[in-house]
């Protein structure tokens, strides 16, 4: 019903047809996947790449390339078919043939790092568009530092109805409008279909009005009218505001019987409909074979990009900021950071300041930010609580992209996804703060930081009942456990000013693992009064105090509870019980140590774990003869000292638990 009546045989039409055919054939071969979206957006994508995208498949990481984000990640075959035809070396036809199979780069949803030309992992709807906001902001920030000759690119996004329904899209749209990210262009696949059926089942929002209200430039086009799409992208590029192009499309366009229906969203078309589609599209070629002229058309895009990249490289060579530009994109200077932090630690151990670890974090950040000129701080409206702003930082705004501190607003999820985008863009080390309890609001983006292996740092203060009077809504209890459950995330809970500095050294020099620092509101004594050059936090856990003559018990604690464990050890010593104290600021790094080291830290004596949180996740540190002193339910609103007493997280309780074990 929706097949074009007259078959368009122009090169650009063939480019689009090839996307449709490769998509339906790959989904059919995999017997799973989503043909509707790539088929529906094939015309828009063909125009975008054919006439606008500046990318060089022979140099996929070229810094000044345009970024393309498929926020509607279920339509992954759109990216794979395009990248195949563009000639990315790692995307040969075998990859298309083995779509969604074990070992293939063509995963069900686009996975960052699996294949070149995939700018970010998408699939969790709404995150792609928000990650793209971070990329587009990073482009402007990098441009402010290095100028138009070196940084001058666009961020294009294809978003579906689902992306725009997700709450995070509100945060994304607001941020992009507020920061006037004019180089961000969103192509909305407005096909009025989601999985359950018509969008009329679930939404009646006026999307265009919503974007306009946030300061966007808004247009509407027939998404199958390529000239109209091209004109809209042209106008979007000229407008200084971020742009939404509402592309009215038909899902599964090209499939004569199934187009326009939710049935084409996420299921193979079937042999019969595939044959009918080939006829309707006038496509005589077998599955997984493309005519030369199709490759030629796509590879002309690649050739244009290559030329642009070569021109850019020539400019880089004679640019006075060329060296600094390349340095900004290189990994962190670990030696410089180690030197700066070690000198700082020496001072700390001598001065032994008693400060909250959030304050310790602020102090450490002063060192980090002085050493890493490309650090970009920020907070989700809790700057004064998270203590994320260091001296000399200035706010990033539409009038000052040269700033280095981002007021993300009350948008924890948006902040976190945007930080992913900043990290993916390159040139910056982003960190951002909120209360630990609101890690839940940010969690899906933290998960993508971890999945993609991005060096992003989360500064999460007010890390336990120790925050006191704000009460149980604000007191994390299960958060440490749930964050530690996430693969490839280093969760740090430093005990004092020195461990906090060490945690920051690791976070700021990490290359493939995001870090989360859980920091106290309340003051904590300096426990590391003896200076050690070695970063002990990097071991994950270490012996802070070893009794003479062997151990009767080992007390293991993190963060604010290490002080309690130390007091308990004193108390036990008075009663002739020899207690070792282990500080365990990072379970993940401890798990990565060798068996011998772990055994030496944990010892053979019974163990008591202490943490003002739930016990879940502690089992690798505890043993058969062990006890745990912590929380078993929600907290309460009262001064912190009262809460610790009430919930029984005290030195006396720890000592009593120890004695019970060794009796």
Ligand X SMILES: Cc1ncc(C[n+]2csc(CCOP(=O)(O)OP(=O)(O)O)c2C)c(N)n1
* Residues contributing to the site for ligand X (CB under 6 A): 36-37, 72, 74, 123-125, 160-163, 166, 189, 191, 193-195, 251, 265
Q: Of 111-119, 154-162, 328-336, 485-493, which part binds Mg ion (CB under 5 A)?
A: 154-162
* The only residue of 48, 96, 193, 526 in contact with Mg ion, by rule CB under 5 A: 193
Q: Which is nearer to ligand X, 19 or 564 (CB)?
A: 19
Residue 60 interacts, among Mg ion, ligand X, none and using kind-specific CB cut-offs from 5 to 8 Å, with: none
128 scored as a contact of Mg ion (CB under 5 A): no
Residue 234 half-sphere exposure toward CB, CA atoms < 13 A:
9
Residue 16 interacts, among Mg ion, ligand X, none and using kind-specific CB cut-offs from 5 to 8 Å, with: none
Q: Which is nearer to ligand X, 412 or 571 (CB)?
A: 412
Shortest Å, Cβ 190 to Mg ion: 8
Q: Of 186-194, 254-262, 349-357, 486-494, which part binds Mg ion (CB under 5 A)?
A: 186-194
Extended beta strands in 43-116, E state: 67-70
Coil, strand, or helix at residue 560?
coil
Residue 33 interacts, among ligand X, Mg ion, none and using kind-specific CB cut-offs from 5 to 8 Å, with: none
Q: Which is nearer to ligand X, 100 or 607 (CB)?
A: 100
Q: Which is nearer to Mg ion, 161 or 273 (CB)?
A: 161
Q: Which is nearer to ligand X, 169 or 554 (CB)?
A: 169
User: How far apart are alpha carbons 628 and 418 in whole angstroms?
Assistant: 38
Beta bridge pairs of residue 517: 459, 492
Shortest Å, Cβ 174 to ligand X: 19
* The only residue of 17, 127, 191, 522 in contact with Mg ion, by rule CB under 5 A: 191
Coil, strand, or helix at residue 111?
coil
Shortest Å, Cβ 191 to Mg ion: 4
136 scored as a contact of Mg ion (CB under 5 A): no
User: Which of these, 103, 528, 137, lies nearest to 342 by C-alpha position?
Assistant: 528
User: Can you spell out the DSSP letters for 124-159?
Assistant: STTHHHHHHHHHHHHHHHHHHHH-TTT----EEEEE
User: How far apart are alpha carbons 373 and 359 in whole angstroms?
Assistant: 21
Quick one: angle between helices 322-329 and 127-146, nearest 10? 150
Pair type for strands 193-194 and 197-198: antiparallel
User: How far apart are alpha carbons 378 and 122 in whole angstroms?
Assistant: 24
Residue pair 456/430 in contact (Cβ under 8 Å)? The answer is: yes
> Residues with catalytic annotation?
412
User: Which of these, 426, 372, 420, 395, lies nearest to 151 by C-alpha position?
Assistant: 426
Q: Which is nearer to Mg ion, 252 or 635 (CB)?
A: 252
Shortest Å, Cβ 629 to Mg ion: 52
Shortest Å, Cβ 421 to ligand X: 17
Nearest position to ligand X, beta carbon: 160
**Residue ranges of the alpha helices (H) in 318-438?**
322-329, 334-351, 357-371, 383-386, 412-425
Q: What are residue 423's phi and psi, to 5 degrees?
A: -65, -40
What do you get for the CA distance between the two ends of the chain, in Å?
A: 82
166 scored as a contact of Mg ion (CB under 5 A): no
Shortest Å, Cβ 231 to ligand X: 24
- Tokens 């339906």, located at residue: 24
Coil, strand, or helix at residue 227?
helix
Residue 265 interacts, among Mg ion, ligand X, none and using kind-specific CB cut-offs from 5 to 8 Å, with: ligand X
- Tokens 């012996």, located at residue: 543
User: How far apart are alpha carbons 235 and 216 in whole angstroms?
Assistant: 13
Residues 438-467 that bind Mg ion (CB under 5 A): none
Shortest Å, Cβ 199 to ligand X: 7
Instruction: Give the DSSP letter of residue 373.
Output: T
Q: Of 152-160, 200-208, 350-358, 480-488, which part binds Mg ion (CB under 5 A)?
A: 152-160
Q: Which is nearer to ligand X, 125 or 527 (CB)?
A: 125
Q: Which is nearer to Mg ion, 263 or 278 (CB)?
A: 263
* The only residue of 12, 111, 161, 588 in contact with Mg ion, by rule CB under 5 A: 161
Q: How many residues bind Mg ion (CB under 5 A)?
A: 4
User: Which of these, 173, 66, 162, lies nearest to 123 by C-alpha position?
Assistant: 162
* The only residue of 38, 110, 160, 254 in contact with Mg ion, by rule CB under 5 A: 160
Residue 125 interacts, among Mg ion, ligand X, none and using kind-specific CB cut-offs from 5 to 8 Å, with: ligand X
Q: Residues interacting with Mg ion, by CB under 5 A?
A: 160-161, 191, 193
């Amino acid at each position: 019903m929706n097949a074009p009546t007259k078959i368009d045989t122009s090169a650009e039409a063939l480019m689009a047809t090839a996307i449709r055919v490769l998509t339906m054939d790959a989904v059919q071969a995999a017997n799973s996947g989503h043909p509707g979206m790539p088929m529906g957006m094939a015309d828009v994508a063909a125009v975008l790449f054919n006439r606008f995208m500046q990318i060089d498949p022979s140099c996929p990481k070229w810094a000044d390339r345009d970024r393309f984000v498929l926020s509607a990640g279920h339509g992954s075959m759109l990216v794979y078919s395009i990248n195949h035809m563009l000639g990315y070396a790692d995307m040969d036809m075998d990859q298309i043939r083995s779509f969604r199979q074990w070992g293939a780069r063509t995963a069900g949803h686009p996975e960052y790092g699996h294949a070149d030309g995939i700018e970010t992992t998408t699939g969790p709807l709404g995150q792609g568009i928000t990650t793209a906001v971070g990329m587009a902001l990073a482009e402007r920030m990098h441009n402010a530092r290095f100028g138009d000759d070196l940084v001058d690119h666009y961020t294009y996004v294809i978003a579906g109805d689902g992306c725009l329904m997700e709450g995070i899209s509100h945060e994304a749209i607001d941020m992009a409008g507020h920061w006037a990210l004019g180089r961000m262009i969103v192509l909305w696949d407005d096909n009025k279909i989601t999985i359950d059926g018509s969008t009329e089942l679930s939404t009646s929002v006026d999307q265009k009005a919503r974007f306009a209200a946030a300061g966007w430039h808004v247009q509407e086009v027939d998404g199958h009218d390529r000239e109209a799409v091209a004109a809209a992208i042209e106008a979007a590029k000229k407008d200084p505001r971020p742009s939404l192009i509402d592309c009215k499309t038909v899902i599964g366009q090209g499939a004569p019987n199934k187009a326009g229906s939710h049935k084409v969203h996420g299921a193979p078309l079937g042999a019969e409909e595939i044959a009918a589609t080939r006829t309707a599209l006038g496509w005589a070629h077998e599955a997984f074979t493309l005519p030369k002229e199709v490759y030629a058309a796509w590879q002309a895009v690649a050739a244009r990009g290559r030329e642009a990249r070569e021109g850019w490289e020539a400019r880089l060579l004679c640019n006075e900021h060329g060296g600094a530009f390349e340095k900004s994109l290189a990994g962190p200077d670990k030696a410089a950071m180690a030197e700066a932090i070690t000198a700082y630690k020496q001072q700390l151990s001598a001065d032994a300041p008693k400060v909250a670890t959030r304050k310790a974090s602020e102090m450490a950040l002063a060192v980090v930010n002085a050493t890493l000129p490309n650090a970009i701080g920020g907070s989700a409206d809790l700057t004064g609580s998270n203590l994320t702003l260091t001296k000399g930082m200035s706010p990033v705004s539409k009038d000052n992209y040269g700033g280095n501190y981002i007021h993300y607003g009350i948008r924890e999820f948006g902040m976190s996804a945007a930080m992913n985008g900043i990290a993916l863009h390159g040139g910056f080390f982003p960190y951002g703060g909120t209360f630990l309890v609101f890690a839940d609001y940010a969690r899906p983006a933290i998960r993508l930081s971890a999945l993609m292996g991005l060096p992003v740092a989360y500064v999460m203060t007010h890390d336990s009942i120790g925050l006191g009077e704000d009460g149980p809504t604000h007191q994390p209890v299960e958060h440490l456990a749930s964050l530690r459950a996430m693969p490839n995330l280093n969760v740090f809970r430093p005990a004092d000013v020195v461990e906090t500095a060490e945690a920051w050294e690791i976070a700021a020099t990490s290359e493939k693992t995001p870090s989360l620092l859980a920091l106290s509101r309340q003051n904590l004594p300096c426990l590391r009064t003896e200076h050690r050059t070695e970063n002990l936090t990097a071991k994950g856990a270490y012996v802070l105090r070893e009794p003479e003559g062997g151990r009767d018990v080992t007390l293991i604690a993190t963060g604010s509870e290490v002080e309690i464990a130390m007091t308990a050890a004193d108390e036990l010593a008075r009663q002739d019980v020899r207690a070792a104290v282990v500080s365990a600021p990072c379970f993940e790094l401890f798990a990565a140590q060798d068996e011998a080291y772990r055994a030496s830290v944990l010892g053979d004596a019974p163990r008591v774990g202490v943490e003002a949180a739930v016990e879940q996740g502690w089992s690798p540190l505890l043993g058969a003869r062990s006890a745990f002193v912590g929380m078993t339910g929600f907290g309460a609103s009262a001064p912190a000292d009262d809460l610790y007493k009430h919930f029984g997280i005290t030195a006396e309780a720890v000592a009593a638990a120890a004695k019970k074990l060794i009796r």
